[in-house]
Amino acid sequence: MDSVQPGDPQAAVPGAQHSGPSGVNRMPPAPGWGRRIFWFLFVLVIAAVLAGAAAYFEYVKKPEIMAQFFQPPPPTPVETAVAATEDMPRALETIGTMMAAHQVTIAPELEGRVDKINFDSGQQVKVGDVLVQLDDSTQRADLATYQAQARLASANLARTKELASKQYSSKQSVDQLQSELDQAKAGIAKSQAVIDHMVVKAPFSGTLGIRVANLGQYLAPGTAIVTLTDLETLFVDFTLPEQNRSALSVEQPVEFRVDAFPDRVFRGEIFAIDPQVDANMRAVKVRASLANTDHMLQPGMYARLRVILPPQPDVVTIPEPAVDYTVYGESVFKVKEAKDQEGKTTYTAEQAFVTLGSRHEGKVAVLKGVAAGEMVVVGGQLKLHNGAAVTLSETKSLQTPTEVPKE
C-alpha cells in the first residue's frame, strides 16, 4: 500500500488524484455541490411561481379589470320629437326703415318776427290750425294805403265816367282813372297775400314735434319752427334681391316686428314696387304701408319684416333645436328602435345630414334627410355620437319661461 510521504507534491495539491485500495485513481466530490443544486431548484420554483402569477393576471384578472374600466357607458337620456307633415308657411325676410306717410318741417315763407305761438311741443293739431303769427303791422299799413287809393280811384272814375257820358270829359281820362283803380286793387291783393303768408298754418292734421322757435325771434324764410307728422299711416321701405321680384305684388301681406315692442307683430301690405332694379345692389326697392291708429310706431324705427308667400304644402317639419349646424353641413340625430336578445326595447342615435328649407315659429322644413314619422333628438344631442345608446327622457329642458311650472 502506497502512502503519501511528507513532502510529496501530490499532498499539496487539493483534489489531486490518489490511488485507492484497488490502485485506481478517483476524483473526490467538489465541496458545495449540494448547495448549488439547492439554489438552482429554488430559482426554478420562483420563476415558475412568477410565470404562473403572470399567466393568472393576463388571462384572468386583466379581462376583469379591462371590463371594469372599458365597459360601455350607460344610455344617454335625450328629448325627442316626431317629424310631421304639414303645410309650411313661407316668407321673404328682410329689414327696413319706417317713414311717415305725411311729414314736413313747418317753416315761414317770408321773413318776420314771431308775434304769437299758438301750440305746444307734441300737440295734436288739425289741418288749417294757426301755429305761428309773424308781425304783419307793416303789411297791414300797406294794405290800408292801397284800400284808400282804391276808394279814391273808384270815386274819381265814377265821376269821370258821368262827365264823359255828357261829353265833358275825354275817354283818355276814364282809362287813366281805371288804371289807377286797378293798380290800387292789385296792391290790396298783394298786401293781403303777404299778410296771409305771415300766418303759419298746419298743412294737414298730425302731431307736432319739439318746438325750436321762440317768441320774438326773427325768422328768415325757411327757418325751421317745428315738425308735423301724420302717424295714422306709416310706410316701411325695404329692398329684396332681384330674383324675388316675381314673388312680389301690390297688396301682398307683410308682417313687421320692431325692437321697441318685440312681442307684438304688426301687419300691413305692399303699397308700391319700384319699377327699376338697383344696378349696383341688384335689388328692388319696395314700400309697404300699415295702419298706426294707436301711434305706437314712429318714423325712423328699424323694422324686421316678412313678406308672406303662399304656403308650401305637405312639407316634413321638425323643431329647430333638432338641427346641429357645423362646417360640414346641417345634421340631426335620428332615434332608431330595436329589440335586444332578451326582447327589451333599445334605442340608438343615428346621425343624418339634412337639407333644410324655410323656418316658421320654431319649426324648420326638411327637404331631404328625414321622413315623416321618424323620431329626432331635440335635446341632449351634444353628448351623442353616431350609434350611441340613448333613452327617451320625459323632461322638457327646452321649455319657454311661460311653460316652466311654478313652484
Residue 271 has pLDDT above 90, yes or no: yes
Residue 28 has pLDDT above 70, yes or no: no
**pLDDT for res 110:** 92
The CA-based angle 54-59-65, given to 5 degrees, is 95
Q: How far apart are CA 5 and CA 23, in angstroms?
A: 17
The secondary structure of 379-399 as a DSSP string is ESGGG--TT-EEEE----TT-
Arithmetic mean of pLDDT, 123-130: 94
For the chain, how long is the longest CA-to-CA vector? 217
255: its cell numbers: 308682417
Contact (Cβ atoms closer than 8 angstroms) between residue 75 and residue 344: no
366-367-373-376 Cα dihedral, nearest 10 degrees? -40
Residues 6+ apart with CB under 8 A from 380: 76, 77, 78, 79, 390, 393, 397
C-alpha Rg value of the chain to the nearest Å: 54
**pLDDT for res 256:** 93
Residue 158 or 342, more confident: 158
Residue 122 has pLDDT above 80, yes or no: yes
Q: What is the tens place of the pLDDT at every residue in 45-85?
A: 888 888 887 777 777 766 766 666 656 678 888 899 999 99
56: its cell numbers: 393568472
**pLDDT for res 383:** 82
Q: How far apart are CA 383 and CA 200, in angstroms?
A: 72
Contact (Cβ atoms closer than 8 angstroms) between residue 345 and residue 42: no
DSSP character at residue 7: T
Neighbouring-strand partners of residue 332? 352
Report the percentage of the chain scoring pLDDT > 70: 86
385: its cell numbers: 355620437
- Which residue's C-alpha cell is 297688396? 251
Residue 281 has pLDDT above 80, yes or no: yes
Q: How far apart are CA 267 and CA 305, in angstroms?
A: 9
**pLDDT for res 25:** 52
60: its cell numbers: 384572468
Q: How far apart are CA 238 and CA 18, in angstroms?
A: 128
Taking 3-state DSSP, the helix, strand and coil percentages for the chain, each rounded to the nearest 5, stand at 25, 40, 30
**pLDDT for res 32:** 66
Arithmetic mean of pLDDT, 373-389: 88
Arithmetic mean of pLDDT, 224-237: 94
Q: What is the tens place of the pLDDT at every residue in 94-104?
A: 999 999 999 99
Q: What is the tens place of the pLDDT at every residue in 344-359?
A: 888 899 999 999 988 8
- Written as one letter, the residue type at 369 is G
Residue 396 has pLDDT above 90, yes or no: no
Helix (H, G, I), strand (E, B) or coil at 144: helix
* Length of the chain counted residue by residue: 407
